[in-house]
Structure 1
Amino acid sequence: MYRLTTSTRAGRITGAAAVVLALALVALPAVAPRALIQDLFTILTLLTLAQLWNLLAGYGGLVSVGQQAFVGIGAYALFAGVILLGWNPVAAILLGGLAALVLAVPTAFFAFRLQGAYFAIGTWVIAEVTRLLVAQWKTLGGGTGTSLPREATSAILGTDLVRALFGVREAAARDIVAYWLALALAVAVIAGIYWLLRNRLGLALAAVRDNPEAAGAVGVDVRRLKWAVFLIASAATGLVGALVFMQTARISPNAAFAVTDWTAYVIFIVVIGGIGTVEGPILGVIVFYVLRSALADYGTWYLMTLGVVAIAVMLFAPKGLWGSISARGNLHLFPIRRRLVGPKIEGGI
C-alpha cells in the first residue's frame, strides 16, 4: 500500500538529537558560568524571533520590517503589568503577548491592504508610530524609559528555587530563570512551526506564498490564513520582547523599538541561514553570533562586515547557507516535503 509521508531517517535522528540537546541545555546552568548563560539567552531569543519572521516571510510571503513594534509593545506591557498592576514579572510576560496580539489586529487591518514593498514599508511606519505613542507614556518614563522596581526583580518567580538549587547569587539566579524561559519559548516556537508546516495548513500557507490567486481558486481561505499567521507570529514576538526586557530590567522607547536589534539583525539571520527553511535560522543565528563576538570591538566595521556577508550570500547562495548545503547533500533535518512511499518506492534521506 502506498502512502504519503514526511518522515525521513535524517529527520528521525534530528528529532532524537533535539530531545537530548534540549535536556542538556536545561541542565547546563549547573556547570556553566553566568556569561555563557547570558550568551545563550541572547542566542535563543534571536533564534525565536528569526523563526517567527521566517514563518511570516519565508512561508507566508509577508515581508515585515516592523516586527520591532511587537517586541516593544510586549516589553512595555510587561513593565505596565509589574509597575502599575503589581504582577510578578514572569506572569506579566503573558501580558506582553496579549498586548502584541491586540496591536497586531489594527496593524494587519491596514497593512494587508498593501502589497510587496508597500506592505514592508507600512509595517515599519506603524512600528514608528507605536514607538512615538509609547514615548508619551509618562507613567513608564516617557522618552527616557524606566527600570523594574528592585522588589519586583527580587520576586521573579523561580529565583529562590534556583538560588537554593545551584547556590548562586540573586542576579545569576534571575539570568537562569530567564534562560530557561527563553529555551522553553524557542523549543515551543520551533516545534509549533514544524508541526504547522507538516500538516495541511503548511501546504495552504506555501500555496498562498507562491500564488495567492491560485490558492484561493482551489479553496484556500487566503485572507483568514494570513490573518492567523500574522496574529500568531505577532503574539509570540511580544512574548519574546517581554522576556528580553524582563531580563535586562530596564526599558526605553529607543531600545524596545530598535529596528536594528529586532528586525534588521533578524532578517540578516534568516537571509544568510536560508529563508523558507526551519534549519536556516538555526544556522544563521550561529553565524551571526560568531561574527558579532569576533567583530564587536571594531565599531562601524562590524555593521559593514555584516552587510558584506549578507550581500555575498545573496549573490552566491541565494537560498542561504543551509539552502546550499541541503541542495548539495539532499539533507533535510526538519523534512516537510511529502513523499510517496510503498513497496517499490524508497524514501530519500
Structure 2
Amino acid sequence: MYRSTTRTRAGAATAIVVLALAVAGLALPAVASRSVIQDLFFILTMLTLAQIWNLLAGYGGLVSVGQQAFVGLGAYAMFAGVILLGWNPVWAILLGGLAALVLAVPTAYFAFRLQGAYFAIGTWVIAEVTRLLIAQWKALGGGTGTSLPREATSNILGTDLIRALFSVREAAARDILAYWLALVLVVAVTGGIYWLLRSRLGLALSAVRDNVEAARSVGVDARRLKWAVFLIAAAATGLTGALIFLQTARISPDAAFAVTDWTAYVIFIVVIGGIGTIEGPIVGVLVFFVLRSALADYGSWYLMTLGLIAIAVMLFAPKGLWGLISARSGLHLFPVRRRLVGPKIEGGI
C-alpha cells in the first residue's frame, strides 16, 4: 500500500535540534550579556515578522507592503491597554494581537478587491491612513508619541522573579523577559506555519498561490483560505509589534509604522534567504543582522548596499541563498513537499 508523507530523516533531526536550541535559549540569560540578549531579541522578532510575511507572499501569494500597519497598531493597542486601562504590559500584548486582527478585517475587505501590484499598493495606503489616524490620538502622545509609565515598567509580570533569579537590574530583567517571550513567539509562529504547510490546508494554500482558478476547480475555497491566512498573519504581526515596543518602552507613529523597519527589511530578509521556504527567513535574518552590524554606521550607503545585495541575489540565486544551498545539497530541514512511499519504492510527487 502506498501513502503520502512529508517526513524525512533531516526533518526529524531538525526537530531535535530546534528543541535543544529552544531549551538552551531559555537558559542563555544566565551566561549571556545584556547586549547579546538585546541582539537575540532583535533577531527573533525580525525572524517572526519574516516568517509571517513569507506565509503571506511565499505560500499565499499575498504580497503585502503594509504589514507595518499591524505592527504599529498592535504596539499602540498595548500602550493603550497599559496607560488607559491599567493592564499589566504582558497581558496588554494580547490586546495588540486583537487590535491587529480587528484592523485586518476591513483591510482584507478592500485589499482583496485588488490584484497584483494594486494589492501591494493598497495595503501600503491603508497602513499610511492608519498611521495618520493614530497620530491624532492625543491620549497616547499624538504625533510625538509617549513612553510606558514608570510604575508600569517597574511592575511588569515576571520581572521580579527574573531579577531574583539572575541578580540583574530592572531594565535587564525586562530585556530578558522580552527575549523569552520573543523566543516563545518565534517557535510558536514557525511551528504553526510548518504544521499548516504539512496539512491539507497547506496544500490548498499552495494551490491557490500557483493558480487560483485551478484550485477552485478541485474544490478549494480560495477566498475563505486567503481570508484566514491574512487574519492569522495580522494577529501574529500585532503580537510581535506589541512585544517589540514593550521592550523599547517608547513609541511614536513614525517608529511604530515605519515601512522601512517593519516591511522593507522583512521583505529583504525573505528575498535573500529564499521565499517560499521556512529555512529561507532563518538564513536571511542572520545575513541581515551581520550586514546591519557591519554597515549600520554608514547611513545611506547601508541602504544602498542592502539594495545591491538584494538585486544580486535575485539575479544569481532567484530562489534565495537557501534555495541555492538546497539545490546543491538536496537538504530540506523543514520538509513540506509530499512524497509517495510504498513497500518497495519511494518517489517524489
TM-score between the two structures when normalised by the length of structure 1? 0.99
Q: Is 1:175 equivalent to 2:175 in the alignment?
A: yes
Q: Is 1:70 equivalent to 2:85 in the alignment?
A: no
Q: Counterpart of 1:223 in 2: which secondary structure? A: helix
Cα deviation, residue 147, structure 1: 0.3
Task: Name structure 1 gaps, 5 residues minimum.
Answer: none
Is 1:204–1:215's contact at 8 Å kept on the other side of the alignment? yes
Q: Deviations over 1:220-273 (max 9, x none)?
A: 001000000000000000000000001000000000000000000000000000
Q: Distance in 2 between matches of 1:297 and 1:264?
A: 19
Is 2:159–2:170's contact at 8 Å kept on the other side of the alignment? yes
Cα deviation, residue 346, structure 1: 3.9
Q: Distance in 2 between matches of 1:323 and 1:111?
A: 30
Give the counterpart letter for 2:85 in structure 1. Answer: L
Aligned to 2:58: 58
Runs of 4 or more consecutive aligned structure 1 residues displaced over 4 Å after TM superposition: none
Give the counterpart letter for 2:202 in structure 1. Answer: G
Give the counterpart letter for 1:4 in structure 2. Answer: S
Give the counterpart letter for 1:137 in structure 2. Answer: W
Aligned to 1:264: 264
Q: Deviations over 1:171-196 (max 9, x none)?
A: 00000000000000000000000000
Q: Counterpart of 1:332 in 2: which secondary structure? A: coil
Aligned to 1:279: 279
Aligned to 2:326: 326
Aligned to 1:127: 127
Aligned to 2:81: 81
Q: Counterpart of 1:196 in 2: which secondary structure? A: helix
Alignment of 1:88-167 (within 5 A): 88-167=88-167
Q: Distance in 2 between matches of 1:231 and 1:77?
A: 17
Q: Distance in 1 between matches of 2:188 and 2:157?
A: 20
Give the counterpart letter for 2:184 in structure 1. Answer: A
State the number of aligned residues. Answer: 348
Cα deviation, residue 347, structure 1: 6.8
Q: Distance in 1 between matches of 2:147 and 2:4?
A: 54
Aligned to 2:46: 46
TM-score between the two structures when normalised by the length of structure 2? 0.99
Give the counterpart letter for 1:47 in structure 2. Answer: L
Is 1:8–1:347's contact at 8 Å kept on the other side of the alignment? no
Is 2:47–2:285's contact at 8 Å kept on the other side of the alignment? yes
Q: Deviations over 1:320-344 (max 9, x none)?
A: 0001111111110000011111221
Q: Counterpart of 2:62 in 1: which secondary structure? A: coil
Give the counterpart letter for 1:36 in structure 2. Answer: V
Q: Distance in 2 between matches of 1:289 and 1:74?
A: 24
Q: Distance in 2 between matches of 1:341 and 1:213?
A: 29
Is 1:66–1:259's contact at 8 Å kept on the other side of the alignment? yes
Q: Counterpart of 1:340 in 2: which secondary structure? A: strand
Task: Name structure 2 gaps, 5 residues minimum.
Answer: none
Alignment of 1:325-344 (within 5 A): 325-344=325-344
Give the counterpart letter for 2:60 in structure 1. Answer: G
Give the counterpart letter for 2:265 in structure 1. Answer: Y
Q: Distance in 1 between matches of 2:105 and 2:340?
A: 40
Give the counterpart letter for 1:150 in structure 2. Answer: R
Identity rate, percent = 84
Q: Distance in 2 between matches of 1:214 and 1:342?
A: 28
Give the counterpart letter for 2:294 in structure 1. Answer: A
Give the counterpart letter for 1:336 in structure 2. Answer: V
Q: Distance in 1 between matches of 2:133 and 2:5?
A: 49
Aligned to 2:26: 26
